[in-house]
Amino acid sequence: MATIKDVAKHANVSTTVVSKALNGYSDVSEETRRKVLKAVEELNYSPNMLAKNLKQKVTKSIALIFSNFEYSNGKDGVLFKMMTGIFEAASHYNYEVLLYTRSLSEQQDKSYWQFCKEHKVSGALITGLKTTDPYFLEIVDSNFPCVVIDADITGSYTGSIMTDNIAAAKCAVQYLIDHGHRRIGMVNGHNYAVVSKERLEGYRQALAENGIPYDPSLVVNGDYTEEYAYELADSYLREHPEMTAVFFASDLMAIGFMSRCRELQIGIPEKLSIIGFDDIVLSGYTTPRLTTIHQDFQKMAFLAFEQMIRILEKKAAGVHQKIPFHLVDRESVAMI
């Protein structure tokens, strides 16, 4: 394997010049830079980033940790959008990103702090964190820089970022109310996510502000999966024949539920109006096309990375950021 000394010898320059050329220093002429890049290509040289970081006593790597990662997580395309935002930011700030997935059993055996220290990364971006995670609060108390996506958690070295879920859920339910609906159900995700609690709160606030009593029997959990929402549709609809609209805490659940409604010959939106949350790609291809709340996952991830840079390089304290949303009006909600 070629070394930086091999590149310097091949280009007939010093190792210092090679280093400067590869790191974009302005005091290297364009002709010299081309010679170095040609030598790099001919020798198939790849810099040893870990050795470089250790020598400088500063690592330029951020871990992206998917907490409790499952196969179904990739179905909605959310992780891909987040990764796009993170890699965009990493490229801009000249950092490496290391991807890790952690199962629930692994999280119970080893804390995030231990995990990140062992892998010698500068900081970590964490997504998929549940409030039941045994190390949820440890993140705040540790001195390891972390930014958590889709949570509300802050500390000296810890920040978080999420959509304004309460306001977004209120917007969705208000949209249904403005279309004449008053008997409105909600299919939430599960009880162990901050976003679930906030979306339920937004649902309740919208009802209260319009003088509609909250009926807990109208709220069920679909575990954020298409399959679970499909399965619960029969009993849910049978128990609430008076219901004219349903707010879903995720598009995937709305899509699963709509699939079952189609089989039951329940017309959407003629018999039942449906509104989702996320605006995943699939929501624009359902029949009818799904009205939903748009979350900018790519921007969320980019801003999470930028907050990490501020914590690492500017020694700033972590903060909680909320990003905007907007309603996407399609075809699954009718006026009554």
By the 8 A CB rule, do 184 and 214 touch? Answer: no
Domain boundaries 165-295, corresponding CATH code: 3.40.50.2300
The token duo for 8 is 């310097």
pLDDT of amino acid 213: 97
Burial of 43 (0-12, 13-18, 19+ CB in 10 A): middle
Distance from the Cα of residue 113 to its chain's centroid? 21
Say which CATH class 4-45 falls into: mainly alpha
The token duo for 279 is 């605006």
Segments in the chain below pLDDT 70: 1, 23-24, 26, 46-59, 67-74, 102-113, 131-132, 134-137, 139-140
pLDDT of amino acid 34: 85
CATH code 1.10.260.40 region(s) in the chain:
4-45
CATH code 3.40.50.2300 region(s) in the chain:
61-163+297-323, 165-295
Domain boundaries 61-163+297-323, corresponding CATH code: 3.40.50.2300
pLDDT of amino acid 58: 47
Rounded-to-integer distance, Cα 79 and Cα 87, Å: 12
Helices (H), 98-193: 104-109, 112-118, 136-141, 165-178
The 10s digit of each residue's pLDDT in 27-65 is 788 889 889 888 888 888 866 544 554 454 445 889 888
